[in-house]
A and B are shown apart, each in its own frame.
Chain A
Amino acid sequence: MDDDIPRAQRGDLDAFERLYRAHVGRVNALCIRLTAGHGAEELLQDVFVRIWEKLPSFRGESALGSWMHRVAVNVYLVSRRSELRREARVVTSDEPESLGVDAVRGYVTDDPDARIDLERAIARLPAGARAAFVLHDIEGYLHEEIAEMQGVATGTVRAQLHRARKLLIEVLES
């Protein structure tokens, strides 16, 4: 596997396929959550084509998986930047019913279905709030990192995250 990185950097597609197969699960999970499933397959393809293009610039300063992850986030945010900025300016309804009350019922139980319910609830969040929640609360990015990647103020990310959490909790309690 270690040899596959320099091989892929030199243009070896078979080596790149092995890297793809080793990392596709994590990248795909991110794509599905960021897009709420709409266009996730296309995003996954775009991400790996971009990773292929940028691979020679990978210097091993971080784990390859983390680097790929960041490329994936950038591809998504660049493609949706205008939409996310527009949403940040025009705050829509925070009414919990808009999310679907049943979507997150039981998410703190041990029921295996609860995880699916939480996934569905996240998918129903507005795009900006969803991106903030996925990147901060699930993936562990800093507010500042998200703001820089998204091209918005840090305060906007904090507001989106607050909004996402508020919506999810309100739905849970309703």
Chain B
Amino acid sequence: MTDHRTPPDDPRLGALQRAADDLPREVAPAADAWPAIRARIEAARVVPMGAPTVPVRHHSSNRWRVAAAAAVLVVGSSAVTVLVMRGEADAPSVAAAPAGAASAAASFSSPGATPPGHFGAARQVVVDVSDSYEAASADLERVLRARRSRLSPSTVRAVEESLRTIDRAIGEARAALEQDPASRDLMDLLDSVYRQKLDLLRRANELPLRSS
């Protein structure tokens, strides 16, 4: 990356180039992005490539916890899909759905061995990660709303059904994390579902519009 530009013959180009040169090279973010970045790194357990890694102990209880939570997510999401297909608008609330996940997580966790304050910090990570993803989703959902009227009705239905399913899964994962905030496996699930939502929204916003 070097400054290789030659002075243009066209004075208008020269003026444009000078104006571009005068633009500030640094702009402070409107809000401190570091907490969200740190939360994402910690939540995803993003270990720098090549860095020495600490061996992870895979207790059988962890595998059970993931399996239980994943099963709840699948069952819950499928249930929502069925409800949507039946046209039932008054589906059970998200908060009430994950009782199975909560009991499954509780039965496999051992809070007595958790250091004091550990759960509080873990809950804050969940909040930070969720806030970060929700903000990103909100931006994409605004774009989708603006485009909605120019998408085909069948496309809109498909996208909205998928979003409802994903939102239900997010609610269930968060509820399970409420019961077991230190579970990295559940955190990975939440992260994965949020990523699915962002991916769906991004793809939906790239769909071709109907000509008006």
Contact = CB atoms under 8 A, between A and B. Distances in A.
Interface of A: 8-11, 13, 17, 20-21, 24-26, 28-29, 32, 38-39, 41-42, 44-45, 48-49, 52-57, 66, 69-70, 82-83, 107-108, 114-115, 118-119, 133, 136-142, 145, 165, 168-169, 172-173
A138 B51 contact: no
Contact of A39 (B20, B30, B132, B139): B139
A24 B28 contact: yes
A56 B46 CA distance: 13
B95 interface: no
Contacts of A145: 1
A115 B20 CA distance: 8
Interface string B52-90: 100000000000000000000000000000000000000
Contact of B1 (A49, A118, A140): A140
A56 B51 contact: yes
11 contacts: A9-B51, A11-B47, A45-B132, A56-B48, A56-B50, A56-B51, A115-B19, A137-B17, A141-B1, A145-B1, A172-B12
A118 B15 CA distance: 12
Contacts of A139: 1
Contact of B16 (A10, A49, A54, A168): A168
Interface stretch (B34-42, B96-104, B147-155, B161-169): B34-42
A56 B49 contact: yes
Contact of B36 (A45, A82, A172): A45
Interface string B135-148: 11001100100000
Main secondary structure of the interface of B (DSSP, over half): loop
B210 interface: no
Contacts of B207: none
A169 to B, nearest CB: 5
A45 B33 contact: yes
Given A20-B37, A45-B40, A137 B48 contact: no
Contacts of B40: 45, 49
B3 interface: yes
Interface in B7-40: 12-13, 15-20, 22-31, 33-34, 36-38, 40
Contacts of B36: 45
A13 B16 contact: no
Given A11-B48, A20-B37, A26-B26, 17 more contacts: A26-B25, A29-B26, A39-B136, A41-B29, A42-B135, A42-B139, A44-B33, A45-B37, A107-B16, A107-B19, A108-B19, A115-B19, A133-B20, A137-B5, A140-B5, A169-B13, A169-B16
A118 B23 contact: yes
B132 A52 contact: no
Contacts of B44: 49
A118 B24 CA distance: 11
Contacts of B49: 53-54, 56-57
Contacts of A169: 12-13, 16
